[in-house]
Structure formats: structure tokens, C-alpha cells
């Protein structure tokens, strides 16, 4: 036998041995929290396996431990249709809700005996893992329950997730991805040391991490996971499964991370005791939870009980009460949002609450302040809404200072000193100056977004950096960045290639159609659909500028609030100057008729609903309008066709009741071709 074949055979055997040892070490460390080797030994095994795979690339498999470090960046996440929908749970907030849930189960099971399984409700992101013949095949987010995003490469980096099973089973496993608090705090310490913005909370950070395009960055975050559901893809094997709790034990045997606080109980009284016990230990856990999940244990009984549209009837989530604290309100300041929304903020004496120190809380608007009679100097009760966003619940009146005065809303923007405007019928005040420095960062982030000007590479951190360095003062400066190419490439930690990509993307953005430009410039109440309606009606920017409120409001689907906002925007001097600069930069401020466009759908009104397989909602609506049709958001007698995908819901029922023709994607394709 040739020597190279002998070497390869030996390398293959060694690679398999190393893989097995490393995967076992991952299981002991991340799932059992009982490591049996030190970090150095682990690193040396990983290094040796990487060297073997570098020499013999054909030995590198998708389930190799080396794949956990992540690979090159991906531009987008493909859609995944969940074979069995990932339903959400009904929530309960007190013991009466639990009693009502138990009564429903009794009635539905008609005297049968039943047990409950109580599990912790993790404050993380629900995902699905699919295994084929024992190998990790695909991972996806929950999404809307029917359709999620393929995040397989990012999930491979989570060391608690087994890449290869000792069994050859083909299964789907569901669970929650989250951060251990120590890892979340570590990330924020790193952010702080780099002078970057700290992340608000573990859950949102976990969600953002799973959608990072570079899986190497995900690997560095050190996400974790607990699994709570098992389904065998083979129908015969699935039919053999008897109980939810037994399935959890099967997951443990397959070396999936299953939380050890799960418990089987015999009555709703025992459920309540479990909830009380867990709520007491909540702050001592190394991860965040926000309640307890209660499920009927028998899988046969689960099927008998069934589900409603969005949630199973055999399970309920008992949500813990939001934690509260009392502290002093030192001042009320005004925060200016991306589109000029003025939000009053309570500046508080720092107080520790639900895992973090709170020094600020939103007061929403002046009406809210008046309704609760909140005054500077008051002692106030605060809580974290959903254990995330701090808010003022009420004033402790017996502690109010004698000389306190009601709060009065200022009449000028705290940043640019321009007059504030409160539209009739609205609770919010606004700064209408789009060049207000406080709005610059948010407006830029909106402007470059994928569904707006789609400028890749200009993320919030880079925009923030360019603002700090003086390259960006408003959105029009984005189109001056190519003139600063040399200076940009000299910035520390910025490579030439990344700047080249940004500049190329800026140039490509000039081809974006008029409706995208109209959406990108950030007119209050004008979303991408409204922007399409305006662009289709007026054809160009000059027609919009010269239109009166009545003309704008006369357009179908444009109400008085949108009409006033559009009119005010284009009657503000700074906004007109901004539009003029963007026009001179080469952006499209006029609708173009696509080559070969037809009026095949002229006079027809469509409503699109449900999850489509071939089209994104926005794409199909744009296609309808490009062919002369009208895409409406609501079903009426004037609707000609309802284009319905999976999970169509109430719009489908209304269309059927009104006799509106319902079509699927294949019928739509025939219609337009």
C-alpha cells in the first residue's frame, strides 16, 4: 500500500479519536459543568485536529469540533419552513390564571388523570435543531412560528449543542439560546474597554448575536442553550413516545443540555408551589428567567387537548411579576429620537433592580407625566417592563416635597433649540428639524438599512465612529465619503478592503428607486409601503413638495396624520436643503417605468397575506404595482384577489365571507404571465 494512503488512514483514525475526545470534553464542560481535562490539554487536542484537517481537507466534516470557531461571513439568512409550527405560549400572571388553565384541562380530558411538567421559562431566543442520522443538519430561529431564518453556521459555534449524536436518530430538538450572566457581563466589559456602547440586556444581545453575519464573531460571544422539546422525524418512532418528561430524559442521554430544575407534579397546587420556589431562587440563578412553563406530561393527552391558532392549549407560561424598587427622581430630561420624537426621561438616584443598576427610566410623553402627576423631587416606584425596560409605575405621594411643581413641557428642542411641534390628536412632541444633531445617528442608521438605501458596511458602530471623527454630520455626508477615501483607510482598525466595499455600496445605492429614497429620508409615519404609494401617485419629488395637505390626503390609504407629516416635512427649510443635496449626489427622485413593463394588472386590487414561499411580501406588492395593479393592506368588497400563503388568518376568513377570489402563488404566477 502506498505510504501516503497509510498516512491518510492513520490521520483519519487520529482525527476521529480527537473529535470524540473534544466533543466529550465540550459535553462535560458546557452541559454537565464538570470538566475532566484542563484548558491547555483541550487547546492542544483542538490544534492537532486542525493541523490534520489542514493537511487532509477531505477529513474535515460539518460536525467536526473545528467548525465551532465559525467561518467566513454570510450575506443573508435563508428562510426555513418549520414542518411543525413553533407555537408561542399563552401567558398567566397570577394563580387564578393557573386555576382557570387547570379547569380547562380537566374539562378537555373529561375525568382522565394527568400530570404536569414544570420547567423554567428562559429569557432567551427559541430555536430549532434538526439532526439527520445523528448529525446536526440545520438550525433555525422561531421567526413567525411558521417560517424562521437558517442560522446553522452560527448555532454550530455553541459548544453546548452536540454536532454528532451517538445515536443515528433523525430528530428535531427545540430549545432556548441564551447568555450565562457571566458571559454577558464579560461582553459588556469588553465593549466598555473599547469605548463602545454597552448592550442593554442578555436576551436582546443573544438575539442580535444569532443574526451576526460572521459566525466567528458569534463563536467569541459564548452563547449557551437549554433544550426542552424532542420530536422524532420518523412517524413510527414518534408514535412510540409516551411522555414529555421521558423525552427530556432521552435528550439528556443524547447529551443535549437539559435544565436540571425540571419537575413532574400531580396537581395545580404543586405547580403553584414550584412557581413560588423558583421565584425565590430566581436572583441566584446564573442565567435569566422570567417565569415557569407548565405542560401536560402525556403526549397522547397533549394531542387530545390540541392547540389554538398561535399556542397549544396543553401548556401555559406563568410569568413572574416585574421586580420593583423605590428611588428619587432627580430630574426630567428630554431625549430626541431618530425622527425627532421627544421622549421625557426620568433621571433617577441609581438603584439596583433585576440584575442591573437603574439610573434612567422612560416617561413616554407629557400626557403620561400629567396622568401620573410625576414631578421632579418625587420618590417613585419603578419596575422593569418585561424585565427589560425600566419604567415609572407610580409616585409615592407621602414622600412628595412640599415645594414640588407640576412638570411643564418645554417649547424648544433641547438640542437644536428649534420649536417643538405636537400634531393634533397625538401625545408626542416632535423636533421637525431633520438636521438636528440628536437625530443624525438614528436617521443615518435608518437611511443605510437594507429596506432603504441598502448600504452595506455602514453599521451603527462605524456610523458612530465616522460621526465622532467628523466625516458625517447628516445623511447627505454619506455621499461625500468617497472623497475622504485616503483618510478613511488610515483610520486604525479599518482595512482598505472594508472601505472599498463601503464606497462601492454607496455608489450602488444611487440605483435604488424613488420610493426607497422617499422611505430612507425618514418622514414620520411614512413606512416603505406608504413611500411606494406616494412615489406611484406623485411620480417625482417636486410634485410632492408642491402638493397641499388635501391633495396628499385624497390618495387612497393616506390618512390625515400621514398627510400632515409629509406636508410638514417638505415645508421645513432644512429638509428641502437635504433633499436637494441628495438629488445633486445622484439619487433618484423620480419614478422610472421599468423596461418592458405592462399594465397587465391595471384596475385590479390585491391583498397579500400569510407566509409565501416564492416571494417576500414587499417584493410581491412591488411587482403588483409595477404591473399597474394596487396592493392594499385590508380586504374589502373592492378587493379583486387575495394572494394567500400559509397561516393566512383573519384576512382569508374576511375574503371568503365577502366572496373575494382567493389565489395561491402558482395562480398568481399564471395571472401575471
What are the pLDDT digits (tens) for 458-495?
A: 887 888 889 889 999 989 999 999 999 999 988 887 77
Domain boundary among 397, 421, 445: 421
In the chain, the largest separation of any two C-alpha atoms, in whole Å, equals 97
Helices vs strands, H then E, count in the chain: 25, 22
Are 231 and 139 part of one and the same domain?
Answer: yes
- Tell me, yes or no, whether 625 and 585 share the same domain: no
Looking at residue 660, what DSSP letter applies?
Answer: P
Same domain, 23 and 151: no
Asked if the model's pLDDT at residue 662 lies above 60, the reply is yes
Residue 82 lies in a domain: no
Domain that holds residue 525: 432-592
Place of cell 450565562: 180
Distance (Å) of CA 21 to CA 26, 38, 66, 346:
9, 13, 13, 54
Digit-coded pLDDT (tens) for 42-88: 767 877 888 888 888 888 777 777 766 544 444 467 888 888 888 88
| Residue where one domain finishes, among candidates 421, 444, 473 | 421
CATH number of the domain to which 329 belongs = 2.40.50.140
Of 516, 517, 475, 466, nearest in space to 493 by CA = 466
Can you tell me the distance from the alpha carbon of 224 to that of 178, in angstroms, rounded to the nearest whole number?
Answer: 5
Residue 67 lies in a domain: no
Residue 1 has pLDDT above 50, yes or no: no
Residue 529's CATH number: 1.10.150.20
pLDDT reading at 385 higher than 60? no
Both 95 and 132 in one domain: the answer is yes
Percent of the chain with pLDDT over 90: 44
Same domain, 167 and 278: yes
**Reduced to 3 states, what is the DSSP secondary structure of residue 27?**
helix
Find the angle CA(185)-CA(190)-CA(191) to the nearest 5 degrees. Answer: 95
Give tens-digit pLDDT for 92-131: 878 899 999 999 999 999 989 999 999 999 989 999 999 9
Long-range contacts of 576-585 (CB under 8 A, 24+ apart): 576/545, 577/435, 578/434, 578/435, 578/474, 578/475, 578/476, 578/521, 579/521, 579/541, 581/476, 581/479, 582/475, 582/476, 582/479, 582/517, 582/521, 583/541, 585/476, 585/479, 585/510
CA dihedral 345, 347, 350, 353 (to 10 degrees): -20
User: Mind telling me the catalytic residues?
Assistant: 121
pLDDT in tens, 429-449: 988 787 788 888 888 988 998
User: How many other CB atoms are found less than 10 A from the CB of residue 487?
Assistant: 12
46 within some domain: yes
Please tell me whether the overall predicted TM-score, pTM, comes out greater than 0.85 for this model.
no
Q: Are residues 156 and 207 in the same domain?
A: yes
Instruction: Select from 317, 352, 386 the last residue of a domain.
Output: 317
Residue 593: pLDDT band by 50, 70, 90 thresholds?
low
Query: Are residue 169 and residue 312 in the same domain, yes or no?
Result: yes
- Contacts made by residues 385-389, CB under 8 angstroms, sequence distance 24+: 385/322, 386/290, 386/322, 387/123, 387/201, 387/288, 387/290, 387/322, 387/323, 387/354, 388/200, 388/201, 388/203, 388/204, 389/362
In this structure, the chain runs to a length of 673
CATH number at residue 44: 1.10.287.610
User: Does some domain include residue 69?
Assistant: no
Task: Please check whether residue 600 lies inside any domain of the structure.
Answer: no
**Nearest CA among 468, 471, 538 for reference residue 506:** 471
- CATH number, residue 660: 3.40.50.10190
Q: 612 and 573, same structural domain?
A: no
- What is the reported pLDDT for 433? 81
247 falls within a domain: yes
Mean pLDDT for 570-584 is 92
Find the mean pLDDT for residues 375-385: 88
pLDDT at residue 421 in the model: 87
In a domain, 76, yes or no: no
Task: Tell me the angle at which helices 528-538 and 617-626 cross, rounded to the nearest 10 degrees.
Answer: 10
Same domain, yes or no: 494 and 616: no
* Three-class SS state of 490: coil
Residues 313 and 328 in one domain: no
- Whether residues 282 and 383 share a domain: the answer is no
Domain count, the chain: 5
CATH number at residue 224: 3.30.470.30
Contact 587, 510 (CB under 8 A): yes
**How confident is the model over 194-220, as pLDDT tens digits?**
666 677 778 888 988 998 888 888 888
Considering the domain boundaries, does residue 81 fall inside one? no
Q: Whole-angstrom Cα distance, residue 28 to residue 62?
A: 21
> Does 657 lie in the same domain as 558?
no
Question: What would the mean pLDDT of 153-164 be, rounded to a whole number?
Answer: 92
Q: How far from the centroid of its chain's Cα atoms is residue 205's Cα? A: 10
Q: Which of 383, 371, 375, 362 is nearest to 331 (CA)?
A: 375
Confidence of residue 2 (pLDDT cuts 50, 70, 90): very low
Amino acid at each position: 500500500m502506498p505510504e501516503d494512503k497509510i498516512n491518510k488512514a492513520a490521520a483519519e483514525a487520529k482525527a476521529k479519536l480527537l473529535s470524540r475526545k473534544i466533543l466529550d470534553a465540550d459535553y462535560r464542560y458546557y452541559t454537565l459543568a464538570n470538566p475532566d481535562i484542563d484548558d491547555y490539554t483541550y487547546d492542544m487536542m483542538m490544534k492537532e485536529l486542525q493541523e490534520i484537517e489542514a493537511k487532509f481537507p477531505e477529513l474535515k466534516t460539518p460536525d467536526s469540533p473545528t467548525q465551532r470557531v465559525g467561518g467566513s461571513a454570510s450575506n443573508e439568512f435563508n428562510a426555513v419552513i418549520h414542518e411543525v409550527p413553533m407555537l408561542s405560549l399563552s401567558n398567566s400572571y397570577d394563580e387564578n390564571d393557573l386555576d382557570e388553565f387547570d379547569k380547562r384541562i380537566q374539562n378537555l380530558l373529561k375525568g382522565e388523570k394527568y400530570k404536569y411538567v414544570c420547567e423554567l421559562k428562559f429569557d432567551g431566543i427559541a430555536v430549532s435543531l434538526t439532526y439527520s442520522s445523528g448529525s446536526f443538519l440545520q438550525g433555525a430561529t422561531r421567526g413567525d412560528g411558521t417560517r424562521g431564518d437558517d442560522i446553522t453556521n452560527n448555532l454550530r459555534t455553541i459548544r453546548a449543542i452536540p454536532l454528532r449524536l451517538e445515536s443515528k436518530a433523525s430528530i428535531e430538538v427545540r430549545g432556548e439560546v441564551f447568555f450565562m450572566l457571566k458571559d454577558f457581563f464579560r461582553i459588556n466589559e469588553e465593549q466598555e474597554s473599547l469605548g463602545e456602547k454597552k448592550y442593554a440586556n442578555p436576551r436582546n444581545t443573544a438575539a442580535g448575536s444569532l443574526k451576526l453575519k460572521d459566525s466567528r464573531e458569534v463563536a467569541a460571544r459564548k452563547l449557551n442553550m437549554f433544550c426542552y422539546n424532542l420530536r422524532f422525524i420518523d412517524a413510527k418512532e414518534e408514535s412510540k413516545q409516551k411522555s414529555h418528561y421521558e423525552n427530556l430524559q432521552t435528550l439528556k442521554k443524547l447529551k443535549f443540555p437539559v435544565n436540571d430544575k425540571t419537575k413532574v407534579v400531580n396537581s395545580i397546587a404543586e405547580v403553584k408551589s414550584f412557581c413560588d420556589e423558583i421565584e425565590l431562587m430566581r436572583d441566584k440563578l446564573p442565567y435569566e428567567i422570567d417565569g415557569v412553563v407548565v405542560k401536560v406530561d402525556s403526549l397522547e393527552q397533549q394531542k387530545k387537548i390540541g392547540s389554538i391558532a398561535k399556542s397549544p392549549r396543553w401548556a401555559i407560561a406563568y410569568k413572574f411579576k416585574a421586580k420593583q424598587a423605590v428611588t428619587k427622581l432627580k430630574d426630567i430630561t428630554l431625549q430626541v429620537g431618530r425622527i425627532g420624537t421627544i421622549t421625557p426621561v426620568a433621571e433617577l438616584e441609581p438603584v439596583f433592580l433585576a440584575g442591573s443598576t437603574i439610573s434612567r427610566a422612560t416617561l413616554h410623553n407629557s400626557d403620561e407625566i400629567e396622568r401620573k402627576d410625576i414631578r421632579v423631587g418625587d420618590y417613585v416606584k419603578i419596575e422593569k417592563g418585561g424585565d427589560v425596560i425600566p419604567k415609572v409605575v407610580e409616585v409615592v405621594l407621602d414622600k412628595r416635597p412640599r415645594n414640588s411643581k407640576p412638570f411643564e413641557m418645554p417649547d424648544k428642542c433641547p438640542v437644536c433649540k428649534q420649536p417643538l411641534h405636537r400634531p393634533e390628536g397625538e401625545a408626542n412632541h416632535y423636533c421637525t428639524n431633520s438636521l438636528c444633531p440628536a437625530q443624525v445617528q438614528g436617521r443615518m442608521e435608518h437611511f443605510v438599512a437594507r429596506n432603504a438605501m441598502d448600504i452595506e458596511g455602514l453599521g451603527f458602530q462605524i456610523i458612530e465612529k465616522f460621526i465622532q471623527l467628523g466625516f458625517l454630520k447628516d445623511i447627505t455626508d454619506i455621499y461625500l465619503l468617497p472623497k475622504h477615501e485616503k483618510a478613511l483607510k488610515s483610520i486604525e482598525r479599518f482595512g482598505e478592503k472594508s472601505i472599498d466595499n463601503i464606497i462601492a455600496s454607496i455608489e450602488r445605492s444611487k440605483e435604488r428607486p424613488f420610493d426607497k429614497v422617499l422611505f430612507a429620508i425618514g418622514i414620520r409615519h411614512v413606512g416603505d409601503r406608504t413611500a411606494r404609494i406616494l412615489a406611484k401617485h406623485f411620480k417625482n419629488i417636486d410634485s410632492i413638495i408642491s402638493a397641499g395637505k388635501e391633495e396628499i390626503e385624497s390618495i387612497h390609504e393616506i390618512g390625515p396624520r400621514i398627510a400632515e407629516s409629509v406636508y410638514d416635512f417638505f415645508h421645513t427649510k432644512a429638509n428641502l436643503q437635504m433633499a436637494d443635496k441628495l438629488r445633486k449626489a445622484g439619487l433618484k427622485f423620480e419614478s422610472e417605468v421599468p423596461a418592458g413593463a405592462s399594465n397587465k394588472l391595471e384596475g385590479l386590487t390585491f391583498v397579500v397575506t400569510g407566509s409565501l414561499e416564492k416571494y417576500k411580501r414587499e417584493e410581491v406588492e412591488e411587482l403588483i404595482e409595477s404591473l399597474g395593479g394596487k396592493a392594499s393592506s385590508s380586504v374589502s368588497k373592492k378587493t379583486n384577489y387575495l394572494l394567500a400563503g400559509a397561516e393566512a388568518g383573519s384576512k382569508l376568513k374576511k375574503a371568503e365571507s365577502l366572496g373575494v377570489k382567493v389565489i395561491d402563488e402558482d395562480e398568481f404566477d399564471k395571472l401575471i404571465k
